[in-house]
């Protein structure tokens, strides 16, 4: 046992041969000795009696980030930073419903919507479930019920509105918008599109592995003549990414320039992701069967495609 500044630290060899080095988080030697005795007893029970080991929230977050490949890593890190003041000093088996309620109350008091709170709860639930089911550590996750969200809307543009909007956008965003309307890809799948995903000889794009945001199922996106033309016009401004601005990769498309263009042409309540809704709506209006649309869009759940069913009237007319 030794001091770093005013805090006592421990260093010893565990029964399984691992070197343990950690802070006791106390300035008092008696409390540090109690912590050491408890920790050594826990490690002995894990090694000799087969009890499940304990894991701190901080250790769990580090392991979760190491084992998962979320493409939007920066957003994920922001979620964990928000959770740290609430859970950073706890072991996983100490996390209770009261901690979840505290997180919900704090986030709602900041004026955010239920959907934003749910993104936080989903990340918390993912870590706890992974710890219990895969890591086999001591963890008894509390029941985490997501807050009620309004029904997902389907906001889409007519062809005339889409043309007006593209004319108001900067050229690089106009190309990305046109490509989104041709392929139905999500924003990140367009902004992060790499040349090694594109096969122009077969006129397809591969969306697989780490490229996927919403599902583990890989899918292939066929390219129309217009989509191929857009890709060819991108040239080789960047050795890795297809869509760039002044040779540099683009991280977000749904930014200030896009919002200003919408305002300029009088299009309200419209986000970049609504281009995907527009693509799907146009498909259904032109007669694409829902099961085909599901494959084209890479949806794993048929319910996600059913929301576009009312845009087709042929079966009702019959």
Which pLDDT does position 138 carry in this prediction?
86
Which pLDDT tens digit goes with each residue over 141-156? 999 999 988 766 678 9
Q: What is the pLDDT of residue 299?
A: 86
Q: Which pair of structure tokens corresponds to residue 70?
A: 């979320």
pLDDT confidence bin for 256, thresholds 50/70/90: very high
State the pLDDT at residue 209: 56
Residues 6+ apart with CB under 8 A from 234: 175, 242, 243, 244
Quick: pLDDT tens for 152-184: 667 899 999 999 999 999 999 999 999 999 999
Dihedrals φ, ψ of 205, to 5°? -125, 135
Asked whether 191 and 253 are in contact (CB, 8 A), the reply is: yes
DSSP assigned state of 54 = P
Largest Cα–Cα distance of the chain, in whole Å?
Answer: 83
Q: Given CA atoms 233, 237, 239, 242 in this order, what sign does their dihedral have?
A: negative
Nearest to 179 by CA among 211, 226, 234: 226
Q: What is the dihedral of CA 26, 32, 37, 43, to 10 degrees?
A: 40
CA neighbor of 100 nearest in space, from 114, 117, 112: 117
> 218 with 277: CB under 8 angstroms?
no
> Quick one: pLDDT at residue 40?
86
Q: What is the pTM of this model?
A: 0.61
pLDDT in tens, 179-234: 999 999 999 899 999 999 999 999 999 987 555 455 556 788 999 999 999 999 98
- Can you list the pairs that 95-103 forms with residues at least 24 positions away whose Cβ atoms lie under 8 Å? 95/57, 95/128, 95/141, 95/142, 96/142, 97/142, 97/143, 99/142, 100/124, 100/142, 100/144
Predicted confidence (pLDDT) per residue in 73-122, tens digit: 778 899 999 999 999 999 999 999 999 999 999 999 999 889 899 999 99
Residue entry with tokens 């032109």: 286
């Amino acid at each position: 046992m030794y001091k770093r500044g005013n805090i006592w630290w421990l260093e010893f060899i565990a029964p399984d041969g691992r070197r343990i080095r950690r802070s006791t988080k106390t300035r008092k030697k008696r409390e540090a000795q109690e912590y050491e005795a408890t920790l050594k007893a826990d490690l002995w029970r894990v090694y000799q009696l087969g009890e499940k080991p304990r894991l701190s929230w901080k250790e769990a977050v580090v392991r979760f980030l190491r084992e998962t490949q979320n493409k939007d890593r920066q957003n994920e890190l922001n979620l964990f930073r928000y959770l740290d003041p609430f859970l950073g000093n706890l072991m996983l088996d100490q996390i209770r419903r009261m901690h979840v309620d505290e997180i919900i109350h704090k986030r709602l008091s900041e004026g955010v919507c239920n959907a934003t709170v749910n993104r936080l709860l989903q990340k918390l639930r993912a870590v706890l479930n992974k710890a219990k089911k895969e890591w086999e550590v001591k963890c008894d996750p509390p029941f985490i019920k997501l807050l009620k969200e309004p029904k997902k809307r389907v906001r889409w543009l007519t062809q005339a509105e889409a043309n007006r909007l593209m004319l108001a956008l900067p050229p690089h965003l106009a190309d990305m918008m046109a490509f989104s309307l041709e392929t139905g890809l999500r924003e990140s799948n367009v902004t992060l599109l790499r040349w090694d995903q594109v096969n122009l000889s077969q006129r397809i794009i591969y969306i697989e592995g780490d490229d996927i945001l919403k599902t583990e199922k890989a899918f292939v996106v066929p390219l129309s003549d217009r989509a191929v033309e857009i890709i060819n016009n991108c040239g080789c401004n960047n050795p890795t990414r297809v869509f760039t601005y002044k040779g540099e990769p683009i991280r977000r498309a749904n930014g200030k320039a896009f919002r200003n263009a919408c305002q300029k042409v009088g299009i309200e309540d419209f986000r970049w992701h609504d281009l995907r809704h527009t693509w799907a709506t146009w498909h259904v209006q032109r007669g694409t069967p829902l099961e085909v649309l599901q494959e084209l869009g890479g949806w794993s759940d048929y319910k996600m495609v059913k929301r576009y069913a009312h845009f087709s009237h042929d079966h009702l007319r019959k």
